[in-house]
Amino acid sequence: MEKTVVKIENLVKRYGELLALDHFNLEIKEGEIFGLLGPNGSGKTTTINCLLSLLTFDKGNIEIFGKKMTPVSYDIKKEIGIIMQDVAVFEELTVLENIDYFCGLYIRDKALRKQYIEEAVKFVGLEDFLKFYPKKLSGGLLRRLNIACGIAHKPKLIILDEPTVAVDPQSRNKILEGIEELNRNGATVIYTSHYMEEVEQLCTRIAIMDKGKKIAEGTKDELKRMIKNTETVSIDILNLPDEVKSEISALPHIYDTIYNGEKLTVYCSGGKHNLIRILDVLQKKDLSFGRVYTELPTLNDVFLEITGKALRDKEE
């Protein structure tokens, strides 16, 4: 059985009146890319900061690498790479100096450090900006510097708190690939985000958080199996008679049908060939229709079904 890298038990954290974490539990195994997914304010960053022993908490227990985590657990901290949500670099130091500074806090050997820094620079693609000051970097480049500062020392546990905010899709993919590579090289990864696509693409296991509570946990397939929706069929169609809609609703495995005058949306739960059966009905009635598409459930559907609200606004 794999080793447990991070174990959080019954964590309770209050900010005054506000209950930020409510008996939160988490167990992360070695070699996982663990996704912590939740909307803004759900407590992801708070969890990370408690994990790092930056924050006091009211109740609970935190272990990393099987040992209790305290502010003076330097042997544990040595193995952690942290990329914070807010970029934390020296304004007065150049890109290269910043990476050297942070790497130097972990790696004393100068030759090794030099090699690690070079690798980190290549990893985030900042080769052309080594002499730049952070102020001169664009938001995305700054994020990449933040990442380089966190992973240069080749930690065993990498914690990334929304590292891809403000990064363009191209560099985002590069970063995600990089994280996968770090993982292949043996690092356990904790990744928080409110971008479910990212989490779906990257993470081997996912916990969904809301209001300081863990509302679901598992691999993405396990999560999707938790909900009844298995497939959503959408058909662009004008003038759909009510009796046809009722006929479709009566088909097996269909639990909801919505028609808005232009588009018919059919929610299916299990079963096979749902699409064919629906189209069959339309064909028999000689109704013409436009675009047809089916969607498999997303983590958003999971979140929606459990909490009754969307994970994040559509336009985000």
Partner 1 sequence: MFLHYLKYEILSSLRVKDLIFWLILFPIILGTLFKIAFGHLYEKFETFSAIPVAVVDEAPELDSEFVLKMEIFPTRDIIDSVSEGDQPFLKVTYTDRKQADELLKKGKVTGIISMEGKLSLTVHDSGIEETLLQNFVDRFNSSITVVTEAITSNPNAEAEIIQAISTEIKAVTDIPLTKGNTDYYTEYFYNLIAMVAMYGSLTGLNITIRNQGNLSKLGARKCCSPAPKSISLLASLIGSFIVQSICMLICVSFLRFVLRIDFGSRLPAVYLAAVCGGILGVSFGFCIGSIGALKTEIKTSICFAVSMFFCFCSGLMIGNMKIIIEEKAPWFNKINPAAVVTDSLYYLNVDKDYSRFQTKMITIAVLSAAMILLGFGLTRRKKYASL
Residues at the contact surface with ligand ATP, assessed by CB under 6 A: 15, 18, 20, 38, 40-46, 85, 162, 194
Helix (H) or strand (E) holding 191: strand 188-193
Q: What is the closest distance, in whole angstroms, from the C-beta atom of residue 203 to Mg ion in the complex?
A: 17
How far apart CA 111 and CA 93 sit, in angstroms, is 21
- Residue from 77, 143, 144, 224 binding partner 1 (CB under 8 A): 77
Q: Which of the choices partner 1, Mg ion, ligand ATP, none does residue 56 contact, using the CB cut-off of 5 to 8 A by kind?
A: partner 1
How far apart CA 144 and CA 40 sit, in angstroms, is 22
Residue given tokens 């693409």 in the structure block: 201
3-state SS class at 130: coil
Q: Which of the choices ligand ATP, Mg ion, partner 1, none does residue 109 contact, using the CB cut-off of 5 to 8 A by kind?
A: none
Binding status of residue 73 toward Mg ion by CB under 5 A: no
Q: What is the closest distance, in whole angstroms, from the C-beta atom of residue 177 to partner 1 in the complex?
A: 25
- Whole-angstrom distance between the N-terminal and C-terminal Cα of the chain? 40
Packing angle of the helix pair 274-284, 242-249 (nearest 10 deg): 150
Would you say 234 and 264 are in contact if contact means Cβ atoms under 8 Å apart?
A: yes
DSSP string of 238-262, one letter each residue: SS--HHHHHHHHTSTTEEEEEE-SS
Binding status of residue 78 toward partner 1 by CB under 8 A: yes
- Residue from 42, 47, 49, 257 binding partner 1 (CB under 8 A): 49
Task: Extract the tokens encoding 7.
Answer: 């174990």
- For residue 188, report the phi and psi dihedrals to the nearest 5 degrees: -90, 140
Binding mask 110-149 for partner 1 (x = CB under 8 A): ---------------------------------------x
Site for partner 1 in 145-184 (CB under 8 A): 149
Q: Which stretch binds partner 1 (CB under 8 A): 87-95, 114-122, 167-175, 285-293?
A: 87-95
HSE (side-chain half, CA atoms, 13 Å) at 295: 12
Q: Which stretch binds partner 1 (CB under 8 A): 3-11, 91-99, 162-170, 249-257?
A: 91-99
Binding site for partner 1 (CB under 8 A): 15, 49, 52-56, 70-72, 74-75, 77-78, 80, 82, 84, 86-90, 92-93, 97, 101-102, 104-106, 108, 149
